[in-house]
Amino acid sequence: MFEDKVLKCKDCGEEFVFTAGEQEFYAEKGFASEPQRCISCRKRRKNSTNEQSSVVLYEIVCSKCGEIEKIPFEPKHDRPLFCSVCYRNYKEGRAVNK
């Protein structure tokens, strides 16, 4: 059985709790090591990685529902463009009523 553990963040040096629930999640996913950063530092690191990404996002208007969405590829306007919800429903063969 898992018990809460207090760990020290390698970035900021603050202590944080690695909960029993988090440990169980890590075990289910097969992660072998414990987290080395607190939640704040993990979020900060993830955001800085995303900001440094060279992916260009293009804003489109969904052909089905009219929602505005950003997509990671240059749209071809000779084809319909869908938001993530309408695209998922389109791929599954379901009709969307927004």
Specify the amino acid at residue 70: K
Digits of tens for pLDDT over the chain (98 positions)?
899 999 999 999 999 999 999 999 999 999 999 999 999 999 988 887 666 556 788 899 999 999 999 988 888 878 889 998 998 888 888 655 55
Whole-angstrom Cα distance, residue 28 to residue 6?
A: 20
Residue 71's nearest CA partner among 82, 86, 63, 59 is 59
Put simply, whether the predicted model's pTM sits higher than 0.75 gets the answer: no
Residue 93 main-chain phi, psi, to 5 deg? 75, 20
